[in-house]
Amino acid sequence: MAVIHQFTPVLSYGDAISDSILELQSILRSAGHESEVFVEQAHPKVAHLCHPFVRYRPAPDHFQILHFSIGSDINVFVGLSPGRKVLVYHNITPHTYFEQVYPLLAAQCLLGRYQLRLFRDACVLALADSEFNRRELDAYGIAPNAVFPIPVRFEKFDRASTRQDLMDLYRDGRTNWLFVGRVIPNKRVDALIRAFGVYQRYYNPRSRLIIAGTTHGFERYRMRLFDLIRALRLSDVILTDHVALDELVTLYRLADVFVTLSEHEGFCVPLLEAMHGRVPIVAYAAGAVPETLRGGGVALQTQDPYVVAETVHTLMTNDRLRARVLQNQDRALQYYARYPYADMFLRYINAVI
């Protein structure tokens, strides 16, 4: 069996990419391969599951799987180390989104674009979460490449208990809009707030917008959002910051509609989570969103707040349309539920071995 280690700048707790890294490690180990995870940083809750990358000792017969989404020292380390390299590309957000609110992250994203060029003609294989991401690999001349969706397991959602205090607080007859994701500029949470403002003013004053996601590092952007909420004189807009799993499960059960107007997505795992929770989706059709939806939800070609608000209103008042949207989402979710993640991943690995 082979030695196949994974490398990532950060291993987080509850993050979709981090969960997928641990899932891939389990697949590799079940197939008899030696496999560890090496990182620059790790959340304290998962630090025992990985090692600092400086402790890794390269060897020419090793396989190094690098998860790539930002500029980092670990990219250079893997790029210059002996061994055969497999790239897993999660996309790099354009740096221009962060220049005004988080210059350091903007620099890291720009650096990532340059570091990605290190892997042209250097990989035995490159895997992308989506066709949208795979086309970027083509543009950088990184081949051979293929699409391999992020493994998403919903068992943790099914096992998690709900928070009764949140159920009591937010199950009050209001229509609950939900957004889940990092509160950062490319997610266009500002556009979401404007659309909700139109909905609350002209369609349903008894409504609420819940924005569930971390704002860490984006305090400037968060303050701009608060200024916008005040300027629009909106009520019932909740920014939760990071939520635990039981809180997240509860919010999906409370949601009447999931709305995202994000402009740049390499996959967007919360879309699958909303499908699993049988929450109808309204999404701006940007990046990988249409292919992740696979015909589910309502994919809009505009972020116009009046169009978004009217679409949500129609979903909330037309039972037949809502049922059809949910049926299409169920069908899309079955694709991911039946996708042979382990078999496909090992097929790719065995091909390069």
User: What is the tens place of the pLDDT at every residue in 125-177?
Assistant: 999 999 999 999 999 999 999 999 998 888 888 888 889 999 998 999 999 99
The answer, yes or no, to whether residue 14 has pLDDT greater than 80, is no
Instruction: Put residue 235 in one of left, alpha, beta given phi > 0 → left and psi -120 to 50 → alpha.
Output: beta
Radius of gyration, CA atoms only, the chain: 21
How confident is the model over 95-129, as pLDDT tens digits?
999 999 999 999 999 999 999 998 998 999 999 99
What's at 185, amino acid-wise?
P
The mean pLDDT of 23-50, rounded to a whole number, is: 95
Place 266 in a pLDDT band, splitting at 50, 70 and 90: very high
Task: Tell me which H or E stretch contains 352.
Answer: helix 341-352
Altogether, the residues listed in the chain come to a count of: 353
In DSSP terms, 300 is beta-bridged to: 284
pLDDT more than 90, % of the chain = 90
Domains defined along the chain, listed by start: 4-151 (3.40.50.2000), 156-337 (3.40.50.2000)
Q: Is 129 helix (H, G, I), strand (E, B) or coil?
A: coil
Cα 40 to the center of its chain, rounded Å: 20
**In this predicted model, what pLDDT tens digit does every residue of 64-79 receive, in sequence order?**
999 999 999 999 999 9
d(CA 72, CA 274): 32
What lies within 8 Å, CB to CB, of 69 at 6+ separation is: 9, 17, 89, 90, 91, 92, 112, 266
Strands (E), 131-174: 145-147
User: What is d(CA 222, CA 228) in angstroms, rounded to the nearest whole number?
Assistant: 10
* pTM attached to this predicted model: 0.94
Nearest to 252 by CA among 190, 174, 163: 163
Mean pLDDT of the chain: 95
Angle at 225 between CA 220 and CA 227, to 5 degrees: 95
Question: How many percent of the chain have pLDDT more than 70?
Answer: 100
Strands 4-11 and 63-68: parallel
Question: Which two tokens mark 248?
Answer: 């997240």
Instruction: Return the axis-axis angle of helices 189-202 and 219-231, rounded to nearest 10°.
Output: 20
Least confident segment among 2-16, 75-89, 190-204: 2-16
